[in-house]
């Protein structure tokens, strides 16, 4: 969490330096119509944000479909596990006999170093 905050601060710092060093005025045109007249830095950052949104928003439909598919599979798995598991009484497993070590067992082990 702390590393993400530091990274976010560095990105904001870099964006600030970028904006302060690109103060030229530009006109962004769509065919023949001027859409934006202002700072070059804002035009570039705005284009980046618009590109990110145009990439992210169409993927939301796929995420919603996969989330629904995952819920359906989890429901089917729970139903399958409920049908496959017989109602057995809760009986603890039989205790295993205690393991006894003899001195010959120690000589057969390997060293790890």
Q: 64-105: per-residue pLDDT in tens?
A: 999 999 999 999 999 998 888 766 566 666 666 666 666 555
Within a domain: 105: no
Task: Tell me, yes or no, whether 98 lies in a domain.
Answer: no
Q: Tens digit of pLDDT for each residue in 4-15?
A: 889 988 988 888
pTM for the complete prediction? 0.49
Q: Could you tell me if residue 39 is inside a domain?
A: yes
Phi-psi region of 8 (alpha: psi -120 to 50; beta: other; left: phi over 0): alpha
37, pLDDT greater than 60: yes
92 within domain boundaries: no
Q: Specify the pLDDT at position 109.
A: 61
In a domain, 95, yes or no: no
Overall domain count for the chain: 1
Burial of 22 from C-beta contacts in 10 A (0-12 / 13-18 / 19+): middle
Q: What residue numbers bound the domain in which 53 lies?
A: 2-85
């Amino acid at each position: 969490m702390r590393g993400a905050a530091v990274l976010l601060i560095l990105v904001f710092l870099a964006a600030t330096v970028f904006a302060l060093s690109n103060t030229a005025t530009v006109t962004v045109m769509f065919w023949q119509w001027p859409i934006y007249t202002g700072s070059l830095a804002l035009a570039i950052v705005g284009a980046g944000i618009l590109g990110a949104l145009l990439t992210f928003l169409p993927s939301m439909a796929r995420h919603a479909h996969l989330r629904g598919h995952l819920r359906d599979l989890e429901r089917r798995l729970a139903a399958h596990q409920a049908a496959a598991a017989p109602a057995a009484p809760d009986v603890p497993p039989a205790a295993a006999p205690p393991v006894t070590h003899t001195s010959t067992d120690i000589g057969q082990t390997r060293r790890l170093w």
